[in-house]
Amino acid sequence: MTPATFDGLMPIVILMAIAVLLFLGGHFLSVYLAPKKPSHLKSTPYECGEEPVGTAWSMFNVRFYVVGLIFIIFDVESVLMFPVAAIFKEMNEMGEGGYALIVFLSFVSILIEGIAYCWKKGDLDWVKSFQLTANKNKK
């Protein structure tokens, strides 16, 4: 790695290191200053005064999983579009603007197709399964 490329990354490392030091500093300061009177009741999870039943690590709504999947697809798409967008202006000044636009639009059209598909399948609705069964019963 040449010094020039390292020059740009050094501040990031320094800032991250300071964040870690700040965290550890605050932690040890509170270890010194804060009172320490642990009890079992104090360390139970807060459930508005009720005794906690079971663990929180149980099944959760599957919608969150679908949202995660859609996000990954769109995020990868937009990551791939960043380089295209970055050289778009340069291409335009070289007189290749029309070509760049076609390439760019074909990129975007995949994105639009994706969102249209998800929308049609009902993956963008939060209460999808319930609505679909309700409609079927009416017919």
Partner 1 sequence: MNQTIVSYLSKYEFYKTLLGLFGGNESLLAFVIYLIVALIIIGFCATVGGLGTFAERKISADLQARIGPNRVGPYGLLQMLADGIKLITKEDIMPYAADKFLFYLAPLLALVGVFATLAVFPWSSGFAMSDLNVGVFYLVAISSLVGLAVFLGGYSSNSKWSMLGGMRGASQIISYEIPVTLSILAIVLLAGGMGFGTIVAQQKGLPFNWFIFHNPFTFIAFFVFFTGALAETNRAPFDLPEAESELVSGYNTEYTGMRFGFFALAEYIEVFVVSGVAVALFLGGSNLPVNIEVDFLPLQFVEVIIFVTKAALLYYVVIWIRWTLPRLRVDQLMSICWKYLTPIAIFNLVGCAIWMVAFNGKSLAELIFGH
**Window 58 to 87, contacts with partner 1 (CB under 8 A):** 60-61, 63-64, 67-68, 70-71, 74-75, 78, 81-82, 85-87
Considering beta carbons, is residue 11 or 139 the nearer one to partner 1?
A: 11
The reply to whether 19 sits near partner 1 by the rule CB under 8 A is yes
Binds partner 1 (CB under 8 A): choice among 35, 51, 133, 138:
35
Q: Does 56 bind partner 1 (CB under 8 A)?
A: yes
Q: Could you tell me the CA-to-CA distances from 24 to 38, 39, 61 in Å, in that order?
A: 21, 25, 36
Q: Does 94 help bind partner 1 (rule: CB under 8 A)?
A: no
Does the footprint of partner 1 cover residue 49 (CB under 8 A)? no
Distance from C-alpha of 136 to C-alpha of 139, rounded to nearest angstrom: 5
Identify whether the C-beta of residue 122 lies closer than 8 Å to the C-beta of residue 132. Answer: yes
Planar angle of CA 61, 63, 69, nearest 5 degrees: 130
- 124/69 Cα distance (integer angstroms): 12
CB of 132 to partner 1, least distance (A): 15
The least distance separating partner 1 from the CB of residue 55, rounded to whole angstroms, comes to: 6
Alpha-carbon distance 117 to 111, whole Å?
10
